[in-house]
Structure 1
Amino acid sequence: MEFKETRPIYLQIADFICERILEGTFQEGGRIPSVRDLSMEMEVNPNTVLKSYGYLEAHGIIHKQRGTGFYVSPGAREKVRSLQKERFFNEVLPEVFATMDSLGIYPEELATYYHAWKEEEDEKKTH
């Protein structure tokens, strides 16, 4: 995984786990990789992965079962969506709005591009 400098690595690892939960790779009730295995896969210090897991655990997305590892918590998909929406509205959208403002892009114009993009994506899924 290639990390971005704009976001702490432990949060990028948490995002990676969240993406796998949303796409169904990690199922609710299922075990996720051990701290050691994920740290080797990501080429990071195990403490960084442990910090990621602590963050996800604090948000109720994963839980630890003593002696067996970490598991995806019931309701994790909805918790991930909620957490990612909150991040989108608080961190991403203000940057988008600032860019739109500086380029003179109005919401109506953006909506046109969104609908065209959505149609293309839906078409890709059907083929």
Structure 2
Amino acid sequence: MNFNNDKAIYVQMADRLCDEILAGNYAADDRIPSVREYAVMLEVNTNTAVKAYELLARNEIIYNKRGLGYFVSPSAHDHIHASRKQVFLGQVLPDLFRQMKLLGIDIKEIDAEWEKSNEQPPENASPVDERG
């Protein structure tokens, strides 16, 4: 995984796992990779993975079954969706509107791009399930 400098690595790891949940790779009550497995998979320190899992557990995205590992919370999808929607509407969209005004981009141009994007599969869509 390529990490950027805008966010802490553990936050980016948590975001990735949330993406995987939203994409349907893990359903409610599915076991997710162990902290060590995830750390190895993403080539990070185990302590960083621990912080990511702790963040997700605090946000009720995952839960721990002692001795069995971490599992996706039944309400994970709803929590992720609500949180990301709030960020999008409160932060991303206002910045987008500001940029549109600065660059003189009309909403019709955005609509045309939106239509084009709906004709193509998502960038990170994969025809093969990566879990094996």
**Band of TM-score, shorter chain:** 0.7 to 0.9
Match in the other structure for 2:24: 24
Cα displacement string for residues 30-76 of structure 1 (whole angstroms, at most 9, x for unaligned residues): 11111111111111111211111111111111011111111001121
Q: Counterparts of 1:1-127 in structure 2 under 5 Å?
A: 1-118=1-118, 120-121=119-120
Task: Note the residue ranges of structure 1 that are not aligned, 5 or more in a row.
Answer: 123-127
Identity of aligned residues (%): 38
Q: Comparing both structures, which one devotes a greater share of its residues to helix?
A: 1
Match of 2:128 in 1: none
- Greater shift in the superposed pair: 94-103 or 12-21: 94-103
Letter in 2 for 1:20: E
Deviations 1:82-114 (A, max 9, x none): 122122223322332221121012334322332
Distance 2:9 2:92 in 1: 18
**Separation in structure 1 between the aligned mates of residue 48 and residue 104 of structure 2, nearest angstrom:** 41
Secondary structure of 2:64's counterpart equals: strand
SS at match of 1:121: coil
Change (3 A) 1:90 1:8: farther
State the match for 2:126 in structure 1: none
Unaligned runs of 5+ in 2: 122-132
Name the CA distance, whole Å, in 2 between partners of 1:77 and 1:24. Answer: 9
One-letter amino acid matched to 2:79: K
Provide TM-score, normalisation by structure 1: 0.84
CA distance in 2, matches of 1:114, 1:42: 32
- Residue correspondences, number: 121
